[in-house]
Chains A and B, each alone.
Chain A
Amino acid sequence: MVTYILKRLVYMIVTVFIIATLTFFLMNLIPGSPFNEERTTNAAVQQNLEEHYHLNEPLAVQYILYLKSIITLDFGPSIKQPTETVNSLLGRGFPISAELGIWTVLIALVSGVALGVFAALKHNHLIDYMAMTIAVLGISIPNFVLATMLIQQLAVQLEWLPAATWSSPAHMVLPVLALATGPMAIIARLTRSSMLETLTQDYIKTARAKGLSPYKVVVKHALKNALMPVVTIMGTLLAGILTGTFVIEKIFAIPGMGKYFVEGINQRDYPVIMGTTVFYSAFLVFMLFLVDIAYGFLDPRIKLHKEGGSS
């Protein structure tokens, strides 16, 4: 287990390093710079910055300095917001984005799995058809369209819920709903088909032949196996939810990390772009790692550790 984790850790660092490097050079390919726009920054800050970032130095030197900033986890001050450092922006934005993300993942998982299981148990009944209709709709409507529809209907027309910002639980409902519907639909469909397949397996027959209650047969014997494909796609879904937060935060004017990231790109705020990108990628890579660990717990055949005999 320990060797496995260490090995994964090395892979994770390499992955983040590659992403960081690509981002750095791609960013420098984009024409323009923070300082050759009309809206000039304060001259004193500008001089400070040029010294701080060695923006006149060759790219290689800048790259080394940039790597150093990653290793020391100090991404420096924002260029466009002189009173802020990248770290302070991240510290402010991340908890909000994380809140949005966690609720989204939780709701998508719980309702998706529940919907899928019910649909499978009521195979070819009305509940099944209804659940799958919802799922198809959920998959085919992009989250930004859904977000606008929700705002229009529930916030503007009916005035049930606030349309924007992030200040109370009521404010969270619409953005989480908009972001969670797609992944929920995908999870529901996958759970259903995987559950249907699992229920025909011999070990389910064996479990029923033992006289176990239907609840035990479904939850203990079927669900654990049926969830494996769901765990497998969680990585992809997490990446999707993460990029989804950019859009959703923008639409609902939520002051999360996505907002700073998008602003950073618009303003060529190099340190902000670099900082958020590295942070996002490290976070996602870590999440994928957690997904793999979870998979190992579900499926004993995937050996995270080297103990246990064979026959």
Chain B
Amino acid sequence: MLNKILEIHNLHISFKTFGGEVQAVRGVNLDLYEGETLAIVGESGCGKSVTASSIMRLIPTPPGQIKEGSILFKGQDMTKCSDKKMRGIRGVDISMIFQDPMTALNPTLTVGDQLTEGLRQHRRVTKKEADAQAVDMLNLVGIPNPDERMKQYPYQFSGGMRQRIVIAMALICEPELLIADEPTTALDVTIQAQILQLFNKIQKETGVSIILITHDLGVVAKVADRIAVMYAGKVVETGTRREIFYEPQHPYTKGLLHSVPRLDQKGEKLIPIDGTPPDLFSPPEGCPFTARCPAAMEVCSRIYPYSTVRSETHEVDCWLQDERAEKYSATIQS
């Protein structure tokens, strides 16, 4: 197996608000290997963005705070390194792309300025060298006339173009890890496909590891090597794309897959998951999916299920994996 570039252990993140403390992330474990694309999926509010932002310590503090756990990037704990060191990592070793390309660029600065400023901050380059590199990046992401485009302002570009610029900006210092938080959600479908192709192409050319956050399983099916399914601040199932799509184990994962239209299974009904995720101000002690789970058992609401390792890559947190569960369901049926 390849080397781990990122290891997240038992990560807990809370936000202090007027209404109390929101436990947004509650013990997340995640690994990322060199050169792979890991997709994080899950409903809105399950903690995907918070987990991702915490890797570069970009959570607004206060109100946010990493309560517990470690984030090892190439063996170094991001939760403990100094602010200065963190700044040296941001944009250089790890880059992040945000959801909305319309707002991710500063409207008052030229595209060229925004592209090169990271390079000029972190690397000893002249303006000319930086510009040349920026033009190369714009070529790579498929922006025509890059020389002229450098002098223009974000408002002079369409949404898809802006997302390409944002990607170029994230890649200019050749990071080893690229975190993309819903990079295609704000774009229309044809542009989405182009941007996803671009991610594939870039990964092939640069070998960058990618964490892709999305709630679009169609996107996941296209680009992810492995998938982590999050629910209410926890990772409830991880597996390869095959394992998640063809052998989903967690009832929530199954629910997610059933709620997506599929071309290969015409006529099958779409089943949305009923109910809403639990309140993260006072999350339940047991499995957070209990209230919505069609297979919920008594133990589920009381004790959080331990993690069952099904294969080297496939892990799931669910009581159904326990052998006693079969006996239980057998007793119900009889």
Whether both chains belong to one complex is answered with: yes
Chain A residues with CB under 8 Å of chain B are: 201-203, 205-213, 216, 220-221, 224-225, 298-301, 308-311
Give bound CA distance, A300 to B156, whole Å: 10
CB < 8 Å: which of B90, B108, B109, B117 contacts A209? Answer: B90
In the complex, are the beta carbons of A210 and B103 less than 8 A apart? no
Interface residues of B in 141-187 (CB under 8 A from A): 148, 152-153, 155-158, 161, 166, 169-170
User: Is B91 engaged at the interface, CB distance under 8 Å to the other chain?
Assistant: yes
Contacts A202-B98, A203-B104, A298-B108; A209 near B153 (Cβ below 8 A)? no
Q: Nearest CB to that of B122 among chain A residues?
A: A211
In the complex, are the beta carbons of A210 and B121 less than 8 A apart? yes
User: Is B255 engaged at the interface, CB distance under 8 Å to the other chain?
Assistant: no
Give bound CA distance, A224 to B108, whole Å: 7
| Closest chain A CB from B93 CB (angstroms) | 9
Cβ of B153: which chain A residues have Cβ within 8 Å of it? 300-301
30 A–B pairs (Cβ distance < 8 Å), ordered by A: A202-B98, A202-B99, A203-B105, A203-B107, A205-B98, A205-B104, A206-B166, A206-B169, A207-B106, A208-B90, A209-B91, A209-B96, A209-B170, A211-B87, A211-B88, A211-B91, A211-B121, A213-B87, A213-B121, A216-B121, A221-B106, A224-B108, A225-B108, A298-B108, A299-B108, A300-B107, A300-B153, A300-B155, A301-B155, A311-B158
User: Is B95 engaged at the interface, CB distance under 8 Å to the other chain?
Assistant: yes
CB < 8 Å: which of A202, A299, A309 contacts B104? Answer: A202
Q: Nearest CB to that of B103 among chain A residues?
A: A202
Q: Nearest CB to that of A203 among chain B residues?
A: B106
User: Is B56 engaged at the interface, CB distance under 8 Å to the other chain?
Assistant: yes
Cβ of A210: which chain B residues have Cβ within 8 Å of it? 90-91, 95, 117-118, 121, 169
Cβ of B118: which chain A residues have Cβ within 8 Å of it? 210-212
| Closest chain A CB from B223 CB (angstroms) | 21
Cβ of A298: which chain B residues have Cβ within 8 Å of it? 108
User: Is B92 engaged at the interface, CB distance under 8 Å to the other chain?
Assistant: yes
Q: Nearest CB to that of A309 among chain B residues?
A: B156
| Closest chain B CB from A293 CB (angstroms) | 16
In the complex, are the beta carbons of B58 and A212 less than 8 A apart? no
Give bound CA distance, A205 to B105, whole Å: 10
Give bound CA distance, A298 to B88, whole Å: 30
| Closest chain B CB from A118 CB (angstroms) | 18
In the complex, are the beta carbons of A208 and B104 less than 8 A apart? no
Give bound CA distance, A221 to B106, whole Å: 7
| Closest chain A CB from B163 CB (angstroms) | 12
Given A207-B106, A209-B91, A210-B169, 5 other A-B residues pairs in contact with their CB atoms under 8 A: A211-B92, A211-B121, A212-B91, A216-B117, A300-B153
| Closest chain B CB from A221 CB (angstroms) | 5
Q: Interface readout for B94-132 with A: 1 if CB under 8 Å, 0 if not? A: 011011100111111110000001100110000000000
Cβ of A224: which chain B residues have Cβ within 8 Å of it? 108-109
Q: Nearest CB to that of B87 among chain A residues?
A: A211
User: Is B89 engaged at the interface, CB distance under 8 Å to the other chain?
Assistant: yes
In the complex, are the beta carbons of B155 and A203 less than 8 A apart? no
In the complex, are the beta carbons of A225 and B98 less than 8 A apart? no
Give bound CA distance, A208 to B91, whole Å: 9
Give bound CA distance, A220 to B121, whole Å: 13
Cβ of A209: which chain B residues have Cβ within 8 Å of it? 56, 58, 90-91, 95-96, 98, 170
Cβ of B107: which chain A residues have Cβ within 8 Å of it? 203, 225, 299-301
CB < 8 Å: which of A225, A308, A310, A311 contacts B106? Answer: A225
CB < 8 Å: which of B58, B92, B106, B109 contacts A208? Answer: B58
Cβ of B122: which chain A residues have Cβ within 8 Å of it? 211
In the complex, are the beta carbons of B103 and A211 less than 8 A apart? no
In the complex, are the beta carbons of B117 and A212 less than 8 A apart? yes
Give bound CA distance, A288 to B88, whole Å: 44
Give bound CA distance, A308 to B152, whole Å: 7
| Closest chain B CB from A300 CB (angstroms) | 4
Cβ of A205: which chain B residues have Cβ within 8 Å of it? 58, 98, 104
Give bound CA distance, A299 to B153, whole Å: 10
Cβ of B88: which chain A residues have Cβ within 8 Å of it? 211
Cβ of A212: which chain B residues have Cβ within 8 Å of it? 87, 91, 117-118, 121
Among B87, B92, B148, B170, chain A packs the most CB atoms within 10 A around the CB of: B87
In the complex, are the beta carbons of A311 and B161 less than 8 A apart? yes
Cβ of A202: which chain B residues have Cβ within 8 Å of it? 98-100, 103-104
In the complex, are the beta carbons of A206 and B98 less than 8 A apart? yes
Cβ of B166: which chain A residues have Cβ within 8 Å of it? 206
Q: Which 4 residue pairs are nearest across A and B when measured between Cβ atoms?
A: A211-B90, A210-B91, A211-B91, A210-B118
Cβ of A211: which chain B residues have Cβ within 8 Å of it? 86-92, 118, 121-122
Cβ of A206: which chain B residues have Cβ within 8 Å of it? 96, 98, 104-106, 166, 169
| Closest chain B CB from A205 CB (angstroms) | 6
Interface residues of B in 59-98 (CB under 8 A from A): 86-92, 95-96, 98
Among A203, A213, A298, chain B packs the most CB atoms within 10 A around the CB of: A203
Q: Nearest CB to that of A204 among chain B residues?
A: B106
Cβ of B161: which chain A residues have Cβ within 8 Å of it? 311
Give bound CA distance, A201 to B105, whole Å: 10
| Closest chain B CB from A126 CB (angstroms) | 15
Cβ of B108: which chain A residues have Cβ within 8 Å of it? 224-225, 298-300
| Closest chain B CB from A69 CB (angstroms) | 45
Interface residues of B in 216-234 (CB under 8 A from A): none
Cβ of A299: which chain B residues have Cβ within 8 Å of it? 107-108
Cβ of B105: which chain A residues have Cβ within 8 Å of it? 203, 206
Cβ of B99: which chain A residues have Cβ within 8 Å of it? 202
| Closest chain A CB from B103 CB (angstroms) | 4
| Closest chain A CB from B296 CB (angstroms) | 38
